[in-house]
Structure formats: C-alpha cells, structure tokens
C-alpha cells in the first residue's frame, strides 16, 4: 500500500539527507528502519508523513500521492499518524483527555471505552487522571503513542518510540503495542537503532548508512547474512577478524571456547551478562568477543572453534 519510489531530499541544497530510497510496505506490515544517528531515519518518516517536499522521487499510499507543504496548507496525511521524538501533548490536561482529544464528543461512552482500551495498551490505566506535565519522559512517550492510535490510522510512524522508556516497561509495551497493531491490521514504520524492535516484531527491515539504504529484507535474513560490519553491529558485538587469510564477520556466539584446537587466544577481560559471560580476548593481535557459559581467568590461553557461516 505504501510505495516509496527512489526518493531523495536535502536541506537547502546541502549534502543529501536521503538518496534514492526505495521500498514498499503492504497493509498491516511492520517495517523497522535502522541506522546510526544522522543517517536519515527521522527525515524518512517526515517525508512519508508529508512534512517535507522531496527533491526527487515520489510517495504513494495506494493511488494517493503523498505531497509536502508546497501542496498542502496543513502538511501531513490524515490517515497516517506520526509520533516524533517531541511528543506535542497537552501538558495541563489529564492522560485520558490527551488520548481522547481527537475522538468524538458526541459519543462520550464510545470515547471513554476507546480511551480505556488504549490506556491498557500502554499499561497506564492507573495514570488516567494524572496531568501530563507530572509524568516522566517515558510515560509521556507512551501517552503520545496511545494518542496517535486513537483514530486507528492506516499507517503509524514511530521515531525512536521507546527511547525514554525503562527496560522493564519497554519490553511489556513492545509486546502489547505490536500485538495491538497486528490485531487492528495497522501498518507501522519504526525508526530505531535498537535491534529488539526489529528482530521480534518487524516483518521487514531496512538499514540506512550515509543516507542510503544498504540492506533491505526480513530481519532474520539480514541478521544471518549481514552485508557489512555496520549492518551486523546493530544486532550484537561483532568480530571482524582475519582467520587463515580470510576476513570474516562473526557474532560472539559463533566463536566457541573448546578443549583443544589449533586456534589460540589470550583472555583479556570478562564481562558478566546475566545468562552468559562475554569474553574479550586477543587472537593473533586482533580483539575478539566470545560468549561463554562461565568466567575465564585473565591471561589464560584458550582454544577456539569458529563457525564460518557468515563472511564479508
């Protein structure tokens, strides 16, 4: 339903912020856009919402062109909702009033029911009567998401939607929000640098580097077959090492400490990660990171076994 056709954009004829970006998104699909800060993720969402005028290319939602401020007095597509990193809430009114702001005043019972439903989605039922100005940044972020969902948009655009939310609430909110969107068949694009937003919940993923898409596919395929260290680094620590004259990309779980092998490394540091230890070691004067089930003493010589299934 969404067609992003080779779009490019720059601010005031400066260096391009988006270059030849091209992809499609079907109804109800979830897309995760990943990249480092300044790569163009936020600008892409603004372009799709209709907040900027493109230098070249085109955007369509079905057969409807998505046009920017040069064509619309009030920019933005009415059947989309965009949640930016500044939330634009009403600080002196309650959480419930913010969520129900765009709902019908002529059907108070339906508005109340809908507001309650969305309070449950963002896990903030107990804060319904609290004024927004008293909330934390993470709580305000959750309210902004619920408010965007009030009229059930066809496409929801989220810019770093969980950036201010603590890990405990973040994990719960992810599950509840993306399940709700799937139930309602609402398409979603999430701009993020957190791979957890992609691996568990996205149907598609694109990675942007230097304002261009450098990877486009399913999160599983991109994870298993990263095209570069940059792409792989969004998922985990990544080892780019030379082994037997071959340059390889290896995640820490692909390097195993074994009883004996020809490949030897010296342990430099160990980091407790809860369910495992991350071992930092020197392999032929190269730093490597290894997942292991127990702590290993510094300066110990260990034998390694490598899974060579991922290569540059």
Domain definitions of the chain by residue range: 2-230, 236-306
| Bridge pairing between strands 263-272 and 277-283 | antiparallel
- Architecture (CATH level 2) of domain 236-306: Beta Barrel (2.40)
What is the DSSP secondary structure assignment for residue 252, as one 8-state letter? G
Token pair for 239 = 């080892």
Whether residue 165 contacts residue 145, with contact meaning beta carbons closer than 8 Å, is answered with: no
What is the DSSP secondary structure assignment for residue 311, as one 8-state letter? B
Is residue 180 packed enough to be buried (19+ CB in 10 Å), middle (13-18) or exposed (0-12)? middle
Measured in whole angstroms, the distance separating CA 170 from the mean position of its chain's CA atoms is 13
pLDDT reported for residue 9: 96
pLDDT reported for residue 310: 60
CA angle 188, 174, 156 (to 5 degrees): 20
Label residues 98-130 b or e (16+ Cβ within 10 Å = b): bbbeebeeeeeeebeebbeebbebbebeebeee
Token pair for 152 = 């059930």
- Tell me the β-bridge partners of 7: 21
Residues of the chain with pLDDT under 50: none
CATH number of 2-230: 3.40.50.300
Measured in whole angstroms, the distance separating CA 111 from the mean position of its chain's CA atoms is 31
Is residue 139 packed enough to be buried (19+ CB in 10 Å), middle (13-18) or exposed (0-12)? buried
Nearest to 24 by CA among 155, 170, 149, 193: 155
pLDDT reported for residue 102: 81
> Which residues, other chains included, contact 251 with Cβ-Cβ below 8 Å and sequence gap of 6+?
232, 235, 236, 237, 238, 239, 310
> Which residues, other chains included, contact 249 with Cβ-Cβ below 8 Å and sequence gap of 6+?
226, 228, 229, 232, 238, 239, 240, 310, 311, 312
The dihedrals phi and psi of 302, each to the nearest 5 degrees, come to -120, 155
What are 195-241's pLDDT values in tens digits?
888 888 999 999 999 999 999 999 999 999 998 999 999 999 999 99
């Amino acid at each position: 339903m969404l067609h992003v056709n080779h779009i490019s954009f720059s601010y005031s004829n400066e260096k391009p912020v988006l270059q030849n970006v091209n992809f499609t998104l079907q109804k109800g699909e979830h897309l995760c856009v990943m990249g480092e800060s300044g790569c163009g993720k936020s600008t892409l969402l603004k372009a799709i919402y209709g907040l900027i005028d493109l230098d070249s290319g085109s955007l369509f939602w079905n057969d409807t062109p998505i046009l920017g401020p040069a064509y619309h007095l009030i920019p933005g597509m009415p059947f989309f909702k965009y949640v930016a990193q500044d939330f634009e809430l009403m600080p002196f009114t309650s959480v419930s009033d913010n969520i129900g702001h765009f709902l019908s005043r002529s059907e108070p019972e339906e508005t109340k029911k809908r507001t309650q439903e969305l309070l449950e989605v963002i896990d903030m039922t107990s804060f319904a009567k609290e004024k927004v100005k008293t909330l934390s940044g993470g709580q305000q972020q959750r309210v902004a998401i619920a408010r965007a969902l009030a009229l059930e948009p066809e496409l929801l655009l989220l810019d770093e939607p969980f950036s201010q939310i603590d890990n405990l609430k973040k994990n719960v909110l992810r599950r509840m929000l993306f399940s709700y969107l799937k139930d309602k068949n609402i398409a979603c694009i999430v701009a993020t640098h957190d791979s957890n937003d992609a691996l568990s919940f996205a149907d598609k993923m694109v990675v942007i580097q230097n304002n261009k898409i450098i990877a486009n596919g399913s999160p599983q395929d991109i994870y298993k077959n990263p095209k570069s260290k940059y792409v792989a680094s969004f998922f985990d620590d990544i080892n780019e090492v030379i082994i037997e004259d071959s340059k390889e990309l290896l995640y820490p779980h692909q390097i195993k400490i074994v009883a004996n092998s020809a490949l030897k490394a010296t342990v430099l540091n160990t980091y407790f990660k809860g369910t495992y230890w991350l071992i930092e070691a020197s392999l032929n004067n190269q730093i490597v990171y290894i997942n292991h089930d127990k702590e290993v003493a510094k300066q110990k010589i260990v034998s390694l076994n490598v899974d060579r299934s991922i290569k540059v």
